[in-house]
Structure 1
Amino acid sequence: MQFPDDDNGQMLQAMQDAGMDLSQALVVDFFLVFAEQRDAESALEDLTAAAEHEVELNFNEDIDKWEITASVKMVPGYDAIVAKETALNDFAMQFDGMTDGWGVMQHQDGDEFAGDDEHECDEHCHY
């Protein structure tokens, strides 16, 4: 599958090249950043009330901003990613924030190695 030559397309291409099945729903984390804690907390409250996302608020020391991670289980198609990112950016702007990209965890539900990083295979391993 080919993707547009932009940041989203390049990310999806990298995921596909890494062997991820992009036809299956994955948990996609969208990042919203805010300079002020009160703005981030207000946005978090509205996102939590909408119940469409799993959300988490942290202070990101690397960028010196408050960051909301909004996790959405979705099939990561290009158009769906762009639409969700645009909608979240419009939302964040209401609170003087903006989106700052998206990503997925390497291991997702159903991965055979998820949660077992200490496993060591031997000659009889079925992993």
Structure 2
Amino acid sequence: MQFPDDDNGQMLAAMQESGIDLSQALDVDFFLVFEDKRDAESALEDLSASELNGELELTFNEELEKWELIVCLNMVPEYDALVAKETWLNTFAGEFDGQSDGWGVMQHQHGDDEFSDEDDHECGDHCHH
């Protein structure tokens, strides 16, 4: 699959190369950053009251020294949909003196057996670890 030669296209190409199935819905994290905690909290309240179907988390990003609002949306990572959502969120964040700081996908997704929690595993006669 070919992707546009920009940051979003390069991210999708890297995801595909790493074996992520881009035809399946994934939890995509969009990052919005704010200098001021009150602005970030106001944005969080506004998004919480909206019809947005996703999880929200507000943290202080030590590396950026900014407040980071993480908007986690379960969606098929299709280029046009990602660009549209990122553009919308950037415009939204701008209303609160913030901006978009990209998006990402955790390698481990629900149903991923490779990272299963070993604490839930009970060893039997046939275990080799």
Specify if TM > 0.5.
Answer: yes
Does the CA contact (< 8 Å) of 1:30 and 1:102 recur in 2?
A: yes
Separation of aligned partners in 1, 2:7 and 2:68: 20
Separation of aligned partners in 2, 1:68 and 1:106: 20
Q: Deviations over 1:57-111 (max 9, x none)?
A: 0000101100000000000000010000000001000000000010011110111
Separation of aligned partners in 2, 1:95 and 1:87: 13
Does the CA contact (< 8 Å) of 1:28 and 1:74 recur in 2?
A: yes
Separation of aligned partners in 1, 2:63 and 2:73: 24
Aligned to 1:29: 29
Aligned to 2:6: 6
Q: Which has the larger radius of gyration?
A: 2
Aligned to 1:42: 42
Give me the TM-score of the superposition, normalised by structure 1. 0.90
Does the CA contact (< 8 Å) of 1:47 and 1:53 recur in 2?
A: no
Q: Deviations over 1:9-35 (max 9, x none)?
A: 000000000000000000000000000
Q: Which moved more, 1:50-59 or 1:86-95?
A: 50-59
1:4 CA drift (Å): 0.3
5+ long unaligned stretches in structure 1: none
5+ long unaligned stretches in structure 2: none
- The residue identity in structure 2 corresponding to 1:87 is W
Aligned to 2:97: 96
1:116 CA drift (Å): 2.4
Aligned length: 121
- The residue identity in structure 2 corresponding to 1:10 is Q
Aligned sequence identity (%): 68
- The residue identity in structure 2 corresponding to 1:67 is E
**Cα 1:65–1:3, aligned 2, differ >3 Å: closer, same or farther?**
same
Aligned to 1:86: 87
1:114 CA drift (Å): 3.5
Separation of aligned partners in 1, 2:46 and 2:104: 22
1:115 CA drift (Å): 4.0
Aligned to 1:60: 61
Over aligned residue pairs, what C-alpha RMSD do you find? 1.5
Give me the TM-score of the superposition, normalised by structure 2. 0.88
